[in-house]
Chain A
Amino acid sequence: MNLLQVNIRAAGYEKDEAKIKDIDFAIGRGELIGLIGPNGAGKSTTIKTLLGLLPYKDGEILFKENATYSYIPERPIFYDELTLWEHLDFVAAVEGLDDRTYKEKANKLLQQYKLAEHAHEFPGKYSKGMQQKAILVLSMITDPDIYIIDEPFIGLDPNAMKLFLESIEEERKRGAGILMSTHVLDTAEKVCDRFLMIHEGQLQAEGTLADIREQCSLPNASLFDCFHQIAEGKSNE
């Protein structure tokens, strides 16, 4: 069974003004799905719909029973008043994680992401890249079944980007399903299993790179070319 089954008929801030329509897809175990599309296409709205953050939704979002998820927003949001360790401590407490196991994992992740020395500082005062790494650590601490990631590469230096890609690869191997919205198409082309290409609030193409090429009638084209064809082609019609 899929970890997440999505059938959005329409969603938005008001019933009469749907921002996205007819978006159907599923995420299976160990799958990494790229959610791509131009600015304002509806990627963030799709993610907000999955998270239940939109006032109007017509459709079904079905998580597998007892499946847990972690959301990594485009702009990391922290409590100004809590240290990074206190954020981790809170998540561990409310998720009911075993104290010793959680501490071991937290320390390992903080070491990996070079945040150990800053664990007792307010993450709101970190640099942009450090904040991005901190939110990744925070999301990984619970070993979620699903990751919903919005633009993860913004603010990451090349080392952190490599580390992030290695981390999500490990999570996939563990069996986690990942939905990742991104504009970094050359990286997405290398790491994603499948793609969801959204334009003007609707799913325009989906599947593997080969499927996308076929749907765009562009054999041997890159993901970038297919993206361009869909985004510009549709706009020019």
Chain B
Amino acid sequence: MNSSSIFLRRLRENQRYKRKVWRTVADWTVVVYIIIPAILIGIFRFISWWQETPSWAEPLPLSIFFFGLFLLSWYGNIQTYVEEADKLFLVKKRKLFLGVKVFGYGYSLAAEALSTIAILIILSPILILKFNIGSGLIFLLFFYLFSFRSTILICKYYWKRIESRWIGMFTGIWLFAVFGGIHLGAYSLFVGGDLLNFALAGLSFILLVGSVIVSYRALQRISTIDHDIKMGQDSKNSGINMIFTISQDVEKPVITKRKRPLLFRRSKRMFQKRTKANGFTELFIKAFIRNFSYWLSYFQMTSVGAAAIVVIPPMWIKSIIFFAYLFMMYTWLQSVWDKVFQVNPITKKYTEADDYFKARKRTILILYFIAILLLIGISSVGLFIYSSFSILYQMQ
């Protein structure tokens, strides 16, 4: 047995687990009616971009695409493939244990490289046709993004080890600002001509070599085992939190590290009038606002809906998106309510009461109207900004 065989076995198990989770929602009907048509439409769209730049991209400057690439660069973590049981067994074989971590790091880098290539392939028609960027510059962009992302990876590895919530938050903001500055500088070098392009290549080389050396050293430690296990779990669950939220059958993950709530401290009541319906409503609203995955999905659905309404031009498609959003949001709110009350035995026994249904209807409607107002608000602001860009573009 060697490190590579242990790593490969764990990698296969990890992939199998992710496939299994996806299968809980993506049954053959979803595959046939949603995933396959979406892939086909995506391919046709991509081919059409080679013939004509999509209308939504026309008014957008290169800097906006660079900003999008910056946001995408934060996705991903160093995966070490360390497991809980390693504390008992593998940790005693230091070389074998650290070897697994190094292989995991190599795999993480490869995944970053592949996802960067995929993003650049998707954007290539726009980069080549609209911005006249040649293959040499696209390769330089890939090299820079890959180096930039590998640097973010190691910084996130250290950042996530910070226990204190506030220090962690401030460090996160600081990191975001510093990397934002680097990216802004890189943008200037990228558009600044041949000489500055060389400077960007040099910067990318320094970032890549530096991040690999620091990462390799960071991984040569056994004492970080708890952190490595936690990051492995987070990575294993990444992208499936939405499935946990949607699916009734899957248990939801633990959602907070806090001992006490931030809002409604000392169990402060929302309603002074203690009725049964208010009891149900209060429980649901507190559970909703204190559960990161719930309100994240709420705002994600709303912001994605608003973005689609802003960017996709024909009015009839905007209307379809709006009505699809209305349907999806209402259904989702209903499913979250049912999940909150049906799963826990403390509340399940009250779910036949009249007041339960009264509270359900009232609370869902309130959250539903807030979501619609948010959608209209964000769409209006987005449409205003987008149309301003269009006017500026036409003036040029």
A interface, CB within 8 angstroms of B: 51, 71, 73, 77-83, 85-87, 89-94, 96, 99, 119-122, 124-125, 138
Contact = CB atoms under 8 A, between A and B. Distances in A.
A94 B260 contact: no
Given A51-B345, A87-B346, A93-B278, A122 B287 contact: no
Given A80-B255, A94-B279, A86 B265 contact: no
Given A51-B345, A120-B260, A125-B259, A81 B279 contact: no
Given A122-B258, A122-B259, A82 B286 contact: yes
Nearest to B269: A89
B225 to A, nearest CB: 23
B283 A122 contact: no
B315 interface: no
A81 B267 contact: no
Interface of B: 254-256, 258-261, 264-267, 269, 274-276, 278-280, 282-283, 286-288, 290-291, 340, 344-347, 349-350, 353, 355
A213 B259 CA distance: 50
Contacts of A83: 260-261, 267
B286 A81 contact: yes
Contacts of A78: 344, 346
Contacts, number: 84
A81 B252 CA distance: 12
Given A79-B283, A122-B256, A94 B355 contact: yes
Contacts of A87: 346
Nearest to A118: B259
B260 A90 contact: no
Contact of A121 (B260, B287, B344, B355): B260
B283 A90 contact: yes
Contacts of A92: 274, 279
A53 B344 CA distance: 12
A77 B254 contact: no
Given A94-B276, A120-B265, 14 more contacts: A51-B345, A73-B345, A79-B287, A80-B255, A80-B256, A80-B291, A81-B261, A81-B288, A89-B269, A90-B347, A92-B274, A93-B274, A93-B278, A94-B353
A81 B256 contact: yes
Interface centre among A79, A83, A89, A93 (most CB of B within 10 A): A93
Contacts of A120: 260, 265-267
17 contacts: A77-B344, A79-B283, A79-B344, A79-B346, A81-B286, A81-B290, A82-B286, A82-B290, A83-B261, A90-B346, A90-B347, A92-B279, A93-B276, A94-B355, A121-B259, A122-B256, A125-B259
A77 B267 contact: no
B282 A81 contact: no
A94 B267 CA distance: 17
Given A80-B291, A82-B283, A85-B267, A93 B256 contact: no
Given A82-B286, A122-B258, A138-B346, A96 B276 contact: yes
Given A82-B286, A83-B267, A85-B267, A90 B279 contact: yes
Contacts of B283: 79, 82, 86, 90
A122 B255 CA distance: 12
Contacts of B254: 80, 124
Given A80-B291, A89-B267, A71 B345 contact: yes
A93 B279 contact: yes
Closest 9 CB pairs of A and B: A93-B279, A85-B267, A81-B290, A81-B287, A94-B279, A83-B267, A120-B266, A90-B283, A86-B267
B265 to A, nearest CB: 7
B111 to A, nearest CB: 31
Nearest to B289: A81
B255 A81 contact: yes
B291 A81 contact: yes
B346 A91 contact: yes
Contact of B261 (A51, A91, A122): A122
B345 A77 contact: yes
B224 to A, nearest CB: 24
B275 A93 contact: yes
Contacts of B260: 83, 120-122
B307 to A, nearest CB: 29
A53 B278 CA distance: 26
Contacts of B287: 79, 81-82
A83 B346 CA distance: 14
A80 B288 CA distance: 11
A181 to B, nearest CB: 15
A119 B268 CA distance: 12
B269 to A, nearest CB: 7
Contacts of B347: 90
Contacts of A121: 259-260
Contacts of B261: 81, 83, 122
Contact of A99 (B274, B280, B286): B274
Interface centre among A79, A85, A96 (most CB of B within 10 A): A79
Contacts of A138: 346
A134 B377 CA distance: 44
Contacts of A93: 274-276, 278-279, 282
A77 B266 CA distance: 21
A121 B283 CA distance: 15
B227 to A, nearest CB: 20
Contacts of A124: 254
A125 B259 CA distance: 6
A176 B88 CA distance: 47
B312 to A, nearest CB: 36
Contacts of A80: 254-256, 291
A167 B167 CA distance: 45
Contacts of A91: 346
